[in-house]
Amino acid sequence: MQSINPNLQFQRRRTPSVSEYVEGILQGNRVMLSQAITLIESTKVAHQNLAQQIIEQCLPHAGNSVRIGITGTPGVGKSTFIEALGMHITERAHQVAVLAIDPSSQMSRGSILGDKTRMLHLSANEKAFIRPSPAGDSLGGVARKTRESIVLCEAAGFNTIIVETVGVGQSETAVHSMTDFFLLLLLPGAGDELQGIKRGIVEMADLIAVNKADGDREKMAKQAKAFYNNALHLLPMKESRWTPQALTCSALSGLGVSDIWQLINDYQQFTKENQFFYNNRKNQSRYWLTESIESALHDMFYKDPSVSAAFSSIEKAVLEGQISSFRGAEALIQIFRDKKLEH
Amino acid sequence: MQSINPNLQFQRRRTPSVSEYVEGILQGNRVMLSQAITLIESTKVAHQNLAQQIIEQCLPHAGNSVRIGITGTPGVGKSTFIEALGMHITERAHQVAVLAIDPSSQMSRGSILGDKTRMLHLSANEKAFIRPSPAGDSLGGVARKTRESIVLCEAAGFNTIIVETVGVGQSETAVHSMTDFFLLLLLPGAGDELQGIKRGIVEMADLIAVNKADGDREKMAKQAKAFYNNALHLLPMKESRWTPQALTCSALSGLGVSDIWQLINDYQQFTKENQFFYNNRKNQSRYWLTESIESALHDMFYKDPSVSAAFSSIEKAVLEGQISSFRGAEALIQIFRDKKLEH
């Protein structure tokens, strides 16, 4: 017993307790905030349990923010734009946290916001907090981590949350379902590039910003703006009653950035007055509740050993027209149900 | 014992056996076909079991047809159009079955195709079979009944299946997922009425037919056709590689109906050559297998007494921000899982 070095317990780095984490976060301690987000991103069960307790205690202090989703295809200048907007916001006494959803980066952990080198000024800004995209095995998993990180950032006093995503795949829907305001960044070149953007995305946008409206591209950017303003008129009225519009901006020169921030504030005022802002957040909570249930049920079913043992032969019988799709589904559900009962 | 009237068993109408049903259907006996579809639509377990056995024995004889989905808002003239197309097809030695999906008619059983009075000629035509929309408690239920009815109609020798739906809600997706060719009927009046049609529907269309191109409306119909042809060019390439187009027609005068039938045949030839026709049918079977599983899992979960007892209080805690959506989902899934285990 006495042979144990009494200094060991000082040398070993002690994990902070839940209340130490929560206190640190509420005081705006960004080391604590960072470490807590690392717990959220961890796959270890002990870390997950710790993270859930921290989140639960932070929840009553969260929510006092505007959450801005920003999307756009690679090359549109998202990082430069977020840096420009972030600097503009922090100059106006706001604290900004930048998070990201990028399921495609699961291999190349953190391909967007990766090394912060693309947001040099903002990452050195004491009123800003930048967190690279978490790695994850599924969009659902990554979305969950980002949504939980938002809670901690808000509890730490960040009143402007920016969630960045690349404009491909399903990730915009996830970002749209966790933000108040959705900004679509596009390049000058009227219309053509809409082909590259998935159709549903334009309908989600509260604002289209045509970036790189500088130098030779200014005229093209203005034409694009006019085109998108026309196109936006064709869309059905948004549930928020907000009329989306298109603007030009230059993240490089800073042109248009203050207009965009003004518009985000107008939007907040408008949707808080008509209650959409609050109702939408409730609907988003309901959406994630339902989504998480569906996803868990899906996993329970498809990861069930009896189901997966039977699945391919039943699927084959369905595809070859020996049994109907409905009969096949019934047979698999019966296997799932029986398996549960016999346990 | 001897007091029992020996004639009773003759007086009671005997239910045909599975093999009698199947034989009748394969011989094209439409009374048998009608009765078998009634079994599919029945909510009685005994009827359902009988229906499933009949379907299974008909499956090897099904599939040899073209399945055409037709949608359009009320007032566009769907019934008149289907009558005109149906008459045109039967004159060319084809046998046509007309089915419908209309979940909105669950109260007013059979609001579309209801009394057949709107298809006077076709319903008297011996090469045609018209079946009103089944009643049902959900789109999934109604879709299932229609898809199973298609199997029986094909086994009975109908080589052209028309599935009609109203252009509102989710029913078009269901129809699109059980047909080979999707026809969207629109009224003259370029562009405006696209607002009334859900956006995704135009993308599903293999053909847009601007109906009522007669009398004063002929010019307007031609303008609408030009507008839609332009709009269709903006859409991304279809998986089938088929280029959708817009035509004008008049169900009343018969104008354009033969062009439409020609186009449907061109489509069949084109997609059979590039294999899309067959691959698409397999994908549709897979889709309905997955859909039926999801829907059954959903029912198992939400109809579980323990889950529904806990649901509203957990949902409330989520909506009021006391627990996160993910934690709420976890708690409910845990209840569901435990309940299954303790049985």
Q: How many CB atoms lie within 10 A of CB B109?
A: 13
Range of the domain at B17: 1-61
Q: Which of B56, B322, B326 sits opposite A288 (nearest CB)?
A: B326
Task: Give me the pLDDT at residue B115, please.
Answer: 44
- In this complex, do B285 and A319 lie within 8 Å of one another by their Cβ atoms? yes
Answer yes or no: is B293 within a domain. Answer: no
Residue A292 inside a domain? The answer is no
- Domain end position, chosen among A235, A259, A274: A274
d(CA B122, CA B127): 8
Token reading at A163: 């969630």
- Chain A environment of B202 (Cβ under 8 Å): none
Cβ–Cβ below 8 Å for A286 and B59 = no
Per-residue model confidence as pLDDT tens for chain B (343 residues): 445 554 544 445 678 999 999 999 999 999 999 999 999 999 899 999 999 999 999 999 999 999 999 998 777 888 899 999 999 999 987 899 999 887 654 444 444 545 456 788 888 889 999 998 776 667 778 888 999 999 999 999 999 999 998 755 678 888 999 999 999 998 887 555 554 566 678 889 999 999 988 888 888 899 889 888 887 877 778 999 999 999 999 998 999 999 999 999 999 999 999 999 999 999 999 999 999 999 899 999 999 999 999 999 999 999 998 999 999 999 999 999 887 555 4
Which residues in chain A are contacts of B287 at CB distance < 8 A?
325
> What is residue A18's three-state secondary structure?
helix
* Residue A123 resides in a domain: yes
Q: What is the pLDDT of residues A133-181, one digit of tens each?
A: 776 667 777 888 999 999 999 999 999 999 998 755 678 888 999 999 9
Partner residue facing B323 (CB), from A56, A236, A296: A56
pLDDT-derived band at A199, boundaries 50, 70, 90: low
Name beta bridge partners: B99.
Answer: B163
The pLDDT of residue B277 is: 97
Which residue, B28, B46, B61, sits at the end of a domain?
A: B61
Residues A199, A122, single domain; the answer is yes
| Structure confidence by residue, pLDDT tens digits, A247-288 | 999 998 999 999 999 999 999 999 999 999 999 999 999 999
* Tokens, residue A82: 């977020």
Chain A residue with CA closest to B331: the answer is: A293
Residues B323 and B241 reside in one and the same domain? no
B291 is a domain residue:
no
Question: Pick the residue with more confidence: A39 or B119?
Answer: A39
Minimum CA–CA partner of B338 in chain A:
A340
Task: Give the gap in angstroms from C-alpha A239 to the nearest C-alpha of chain B.
Answer: 15
Nearest CB partner across the interface for A292, out of B282, B291, B329: B329
Whether residue A51 sits in one domain with residue A90: no
Alpha helices in A65-198 (DSSP H): 78-91, 120-123, 139-155, 171-176
Q: Which residues in chain A are closer than 8 Å to B296, comparing Cβ atoms?
A: 329-330, 333
Which tokens sit at A60?
Answer: 């009553």
Q: Which residues of A267-281 are buried (b: 16+ CB within 10 A; e: fewer)?
A: beeebeeeebbeebb
Put simply, the answer to whether B315 touches A289 (Cβ < 8 Å) is: yes
B11 lies in the same domain as B56: yes
Q: Judge if A46 and A89 occupy the same domain.
A: no
Q: Does one domain contain both A81 and A36?
A: no
Please report where in the chains the tokens 């049609």 appear, as a residue. B197
Contacts of A190 (CB under 8 A, 6+ apart): A220, A223, A224, A226, A227, A228
Residue of B54, B297, B318 to mutate, testing the A interface (most A Cβ within 10 Å of its Cβ): B297
DSSP class of residue A328 equals: H
- A94: domain CATH number is 3.40.50.300
- Same domain? For B36 and B184 the reply is no
Give residue for tokens 């005022």.
A269
Closest residue in B to A198 (Cα–Cα)? B236
Question: Cβ contact (<8 Å) for A321 and B60?
Answer: yes
Which H/E stretch holds residue B230?
A: helix B218-234
Question: B235 to chain A, minimum CA–CA distance in Å?
Answer: 8
Residue for token digits 């939408």?
A280
Letter string b/e over residues B74-99, b meaning 16 or more CB atoms within 10 A of that residue's CB = eebbbbbbbbbbbbbbbeeebbbbbb
The tally of domains found in chain A comes to 3
Same domain, A101 and A212: yes
Residues A20 and A89 in one domain: no
pTM: 0.77
Q: Collect all residues of chain A within an 8 Å Cβ-Cβ radius of residue B282.
A: 319
Q: Decide if B332 and A199 are in contact by the 8 Å CB cutoff.
A: no
Q: Can you tell me the distance from the alpha carbon of A217 to that of A229, in angstroms, rounded to the nearest whole number?
A: 18
Contact call for A300 and B333, based on CB within 8 A? yes
Residue B283 lies in a domain: no
Closest partner residue to A296 among B293, B333, B341, by Cβ?
A: B333
- Are residues B57 and B85 located together in one domain of the fold? no
Dihedral over Cα of B124, B128, B134, B138: its sign: negative
Residue B43 within a domain: yes
Decide if B289 is inside a domain: no
C-alpha count within 13 angstroms, C-beta hemisphere, residue A4:
6
Q: How far is A119 from chain B (nearest CA, A)?
A: 31
Distance from CA of B143 to the nearest CA of A (A): 11
Q: From start to end of chain A, where are the E strands?
A: 66-72, 96-101, 128-130, 160-166, 181-186, 207-210, 245-248
Judge whether A298 lies within some domain. Answer: no
Chains A & B: contacts with CB separation below 8 Å? 137
Answer yes or no: do A201 and A325 share one domain: no
> CA nearest A140 in B: which residue?
B326
Inter-chain residue contact A286 with B319, CB threshold 8 Å: yes
Stated as kind and residue range, the H or E segment containing B340 is: helix B325-342
Residues A138 and A250 occupy one common structural domain: yes
